[in-house]
Structure 1
């Protein structure tokens, strides 16, 4: 389980250290930084897939995602006595992200390339990476370090051995160092991050992949866009908890049940409801009904991941469905660590009684995102690797 998520200089997240529990509910007013936190977390996961630099480029490049305010605020500015003003930069340009887990922890530092820049002068480079044991980085508990293109691992008697010398600046060490004999921590951490699942705004429009009949294969994990929802539900019924699937449908739609049809290897959904003479296909379902079936497939997965992140799962759902959705999420949190980003008061209220629920309310001050009630001494301890 992750205990701490740290982000620095990503949009409104100038310096945010978030404590995490088993079930985390991120909330706050519009524009407070909830989406930035979700996107930063997803960007962090891209390091293990080799796509972090490309993801930053899709957001407009490093200059577009960096914190746009001053490096620090004077007390008089916070009191409103003076306007916000910039000054000469004292720190290097960097975008830093990391997390602390039960065993292994990780941090990565992105920066601008060193001159001469060439044609890719704004292409972000990975300047520093570090893997360590425990919650807080110290010299004694670091096990793998990257400085520029050189990766070293702590060997016998605490000696550092170079294991890679030419790692491209646009790639993480997680994608280049995978020898379990030399650096088993890299392999374990990479596979752990790759197991994370992110679900963000399932489409339910007429042309949505989830409305189309698809060729089905065994699907223990629903795809991010839900295109294989029928196969995922059938997999859940055959190798997962089929009774819980039926209970989840009944909980949200009393008297209803679903069946998965298979014809020539193509899977479809039939939704049977009391009072109707025929079942409804997935193409006929309302947006809310289809999205709820997608959440059932995602949250009752027979192969639960270590971490699941849900971004605004309440989208298109009727407020009366929030208690049933909350019960689905609570059930999933018994098998996976869950992070929910939401602004639905009904869903948040339904999740509050959960024993493992950790509410995290964000707010913004002078353009910077903070955690409500978190003072300087309340944040989890965290140290960034030095360049």
Structure 2
């Protein structure tokens, strides 16, 4: 069995709706694939859409107030000229369970954020009829149905929250009597929305193995130490792949220092002594970090990667795209990119153009829905070529007439 494949089907996000989040006045992504790539000109809203996932993950991990304040509060977060709340709605599917819709609406009062409304809905065992809510909250007051398979006729129990800025799913998801709520909480808290930095990877962290790579990669040495101790075969696979991508690389080493910090070193095959990671190239460290993330023995439930082409040779991007494809057997991946070499190895259903319409707000189009694209591909064209030659209907940075 491949190191990047397993039989268990992970949870999948199938739909996203965002309203009043910066330039995302109203954006919908339907039929989201296990691997999704976002293209678009500078300033089109790719990073903003990427940040929606980071914001939601941080609301669960750090709390709404910190995630809100970190982004400049309502003044910077809410769409200009909008009076309504920020709304994030996802539909996601767990294996053997119906599609679940999670709706979160957040607003601000007297400089403080609060959860205006939050609910969970599904349609269980019925083909027709409206889905029913098994969790429904307004400003910290609401009700929820317990059990693994909540039904419309089940009793709803009122459970007030301590504060209106608390997320009900995050609070109730910590209790065993709400397993479906807990599953969603575990799903979102397990997201890895990555802002990997080669400079952060040069960090000298405190020694000690860590299972999961941090969002900026500053604990890369700790994760390699963990893999060396607990999953040596997996680590050797990472090294084998790295040697194929970076000439003369032989091995990556970690060494505890006397002051309690952990040193990361890169050994080149022609030389007897390794070099410190702080003298390694940015591309080497970024590739190593991506391989550690994608070959994780227990990967995050959702992975976001922003512009993986930075610091990498273009010829390495097809292989990275293929590894992302394989990793989706165990997780879901969202990538923002400007690279035609990366999207060349994707299906047009996996690629969406993000662009600003003439009204200034972000819009999105799936490449597979653009006229002529399937025919071009049937005749041997690649997505990257079609993009660079201007065959996509929107998103050309030199054409300001998109609407």
Structure 1 and Structure 2 fold alike (TM over 0.5): yes
Q: What pairs up with 1:159-198 in 2 under 5 angstroms?
A: 159=154, 161-178=156-173, 180=175, 182-198=177-193
Q: Does 1:31 align with 2:35?
A: no
Task: Give TM-score scaled by structure 2 length.
Answer: 0.76
Judging changes above 3 Å, is the alpha-carbon distance between structure 1 residues 21 and 318 closer, same or farther for their aligned structure 2 residues? same
Q: In the alignment, is the contact (CA less than 8 A) between 1:256 and 1:271 conserved in 2? A: yes
Which of 149-158 and 301-310 deviates more? 149-158
Q: Does 1:11 align with 2:22?
A: yes
SS in 1 for 2:112: coil
Q: Does 1:253 align with 2:265?
A: no
C-alpha displacement of 1:166: 4.1
Judging changes above 3 Å, is the alpha-carbon distance between structure 1 residues 269 and 181 closer, same or farther for their aligned structure 2 residues? closer
Q: In the alignment, is the contact (CA less than 8 A) between 2:303 and 2:334 conserved in 1? A: yes
Q: Does 1:359 align with 2:312?
A: no
- Residues of 1 paired with 2:164 and 2:251: CA distance? 50
Q: In the alignment, is the contact (CA less than 8 A) between 1:23 and 1:357 conserved in 2? A: no
Computed over aligned residues only, the root mean square deviation of the Cα atoms, in angstroms, reads 2.9
Unaligned runs of 5+ in 2: 1-11, 95-99, 370-403
Q: Does 1:299 align with 2:288?
A: no
- Out of 97, 103, 108, the residue aligned to residue 107 of structure 1 is 103
Q: Does 1:21 align with 2:33?
A: yes
Aligned partner of 1:94 in structure 2 is 85
1:209-242 Cα deviation digits (max 9, x unpaired): x224433323221112222212312333443413
1:141-187 Cα deviation digits (max 9, x unpaired): 32111022212123676255233224411111123324645433222
Q: In the alignment, is the contact (CA less than 8 A) between 1:216 and 1:228 conserved in 2? A: no
Q: Does 1:65 align with 2:59?
A: no
SS in 1 for 2:278: coil
SS in 1 for 2:186: helix
Name which structure has the greater RCO, CA cutoff 8 Å, separation 6+: 1
Judging changes above 3 Å, is the alpha-carbon distance between structure 1 residues 137 and 34 closer, same or farther for their aligned structure 2 residues? farther
Aligned positions, number: 341
Judging changes above 3 Å, is the alpha-carbon distance between structure 1 residues 138 and 33 closer, same or farther for their aligned structure 2 residues? farther
Aligned partner of 1:143 in structure 2 is 134
Which of 96-105 and 135-144 deviates more? 135-144
- Residues of 2 paired with 1:202 and 1:358: CA distance? 26
Unaligned runs of 5+ in 1: 72-91, 114-120, 377-387
